[in-house]
Chains A and B, each alone.
Chain A
Amino acid sequence: ETGVTQSPTHLIKTRGQQVTLRCSSQSGHNTVSWYQQALGQGPQFIFQYYREEENGRGNFPPRFSGLQFPNYSSELNVNALELDDSALYLCASSRAASGGLADTQYFGPGTRLTVL
């Protein structure tokens, strides 16, 4: 158990719909990263939030957006879902000193999204 939780665990949507995935960070962590893992592949970085601000973004279109709240929990929103968005979505929390590199990342169990 890492102390990082994600909800829901599984989700089925249809093309064109919107989805919100949630992540609750481990206590004391101020940084959240989101990753997309397609079947049989390694995770791909979507974006990272540090103290409620986006702090880096991977090669994902703007329909992937996020939020980090004052309690450092986070949401990933995906609009206009496409079939290729079907994947395991992982969040990872860590603690970063001001302006510095973060410590080890602790991963949540993931949300399995299926787009039909």
Chain B
Amino acid sequence: KNEVEQSPQNLTAQEGEFITINCSYSVGISALHWLQQHPGGGIVSLFMLSSGKKKHGRLIATINIQEKHSSLHITASHPRDSAVYICAVRSEETSGSRLTFGEGTQLTVNP
């Protein structure tokens, strides 16, 4: 079993829909990251969370430390949101900023 599990693996939505991507992890963490990866490989960091909730534009990320679960929400989705969304955790047991990644969720938003 992976330390970081994401669901769903693939998600197709219509423009304007509200989208939720889930991440569960099995280790104690000091931080959780949500990342966006476009075709071609470039990764952009969306959020770094250690508790509560963060919002940036149409993106909202929440984390429940007790339940070891995080969600990424996209409101009013748009075709340009189509990308792979990756959850990654920084374990509290390891030094530095080593990240353990989920497999990613492929999001496709159709016009």
Contact = CB atoms under 8 A, between A and B. Distances in A.
Interface residues of B, number: 26
A64 to B, nearest CB: 15
Contacts of A56: 94-96, 98
A44 B101 contact: yes
Contact of B44 (A42, A103, A107): A107
A105 B86 contact: no
A106 B45 contact: yes
A35 B97 CA distance: 12
B42 A42 contact: no
B91 to A, nearest CB: 10
Range, interface on chain A: 20 to 34
Interface string B30-60: 1101010000111111001000000000000
Interface in B59-111: 86, 88, 90, 94-104
A107 B45 contact: yes
B103 A31 contact: no
Nearest to B86: A42
Contact of A109 (B35, B40, B94, B103): B40
Interface of A: 2, 31, 33, 35, 37, 41-45, 48, 50, 55-56, 58, 88, 90, 92, 94, 96, 101-107, 109-110, 112
Q: Nearest 5 CB-CB pairs, A to B?
A: A102-B97, A42-B101, A107-B43, A110-B41, A109-B42
Interface of B: 4, 30-31, 33, 35, 40-45, 48, 86, 88, 90, 94-104
